[in-house]
Structures are given as structure tokens and as C-alpha cells.
Amino acid sequence: MMRISPVQTSSQTVTLRLEGEVKGGWVAELRQSCEAVLCEGTELALDLAGVSFIDQDGIALLHTLQERDVILRNASYFVAELLGVLNDDGRSNKQG
């Protein structure tokens, strides 16, 4: 199970707090939630502090979101390892 909760937002940034496991059908739910924000032209950040596991589809989605400048914050060491190394600002270390 996974919970997606909007947290403190500004007119320029929306943060979604994720809790639980990003896997299975929840990956599509997360994609829809993110697309709703991104389609408005608003900056998006995902707070991963409550995420305990991410499956391969979830990892692929989060990598795609990073390529679209979505910021990933507060990942546990385990989740950060699943995703690959991140910069301190939550953006991917991958070079274009």
C-alpha cells in the first residue's frame, strides 16, 4: 500500500509526500498524481521519507520524473541506493 499526500505547497512548488511501497498499481497512481501537477507547469518535489520499497517499475518512473526536473527529497539510504546516488539537492547525478 502507498499513500500520496500533498504537503506544504507554494504557488511555484507542490510537494507530494509518499508513504509505503511504490510498486504494482501504485506506480500508475503516482504517475497520474505527478502528471496532474506537472501539466499545470508547477515545480514538483517528492518527499520519499516514508517510502520503504520501490519496485523496478517505480524506479523507472522516478528516474523519468527526475529527467523532467522533479526533485526527490528525504530518501532513506536504502531507497537512495535503489534509485542510484543523488545530489544533495535531490536531483540526479546522471550526466545528459
The cell numbers describing 3, all together, are 499513500
| DSSP code, position 55 | -
* Whole-structure pTM value: 0.84
Q: Of all residues in the chain, what percent carry a pLDDT higher than 70? A: 88
Among 58, 42, 60, CA closest to 6: 42
Among 71, 59, 54, 66, CA closest to 95: 66
Sign of CA dihedral 42, 60, 94, 88: positive
Superfamily of domain 2-83: STAS domain (3.30.750.24)
Residue range 32-77, pLDDT digits in tens: 999 999 998 889 999 999 999 999 999 999 999 999 999 999 999 9
Phi, psi of 85 (to 5 degrees): -70, 140
What does each C-alpha distance from 24 to 3, 44, 60 come to in angstroms?
13, 22, 12
Q: Under DSSP, is residue 46 helix (H, G, I), strand (E, B) or coil?
A: strand
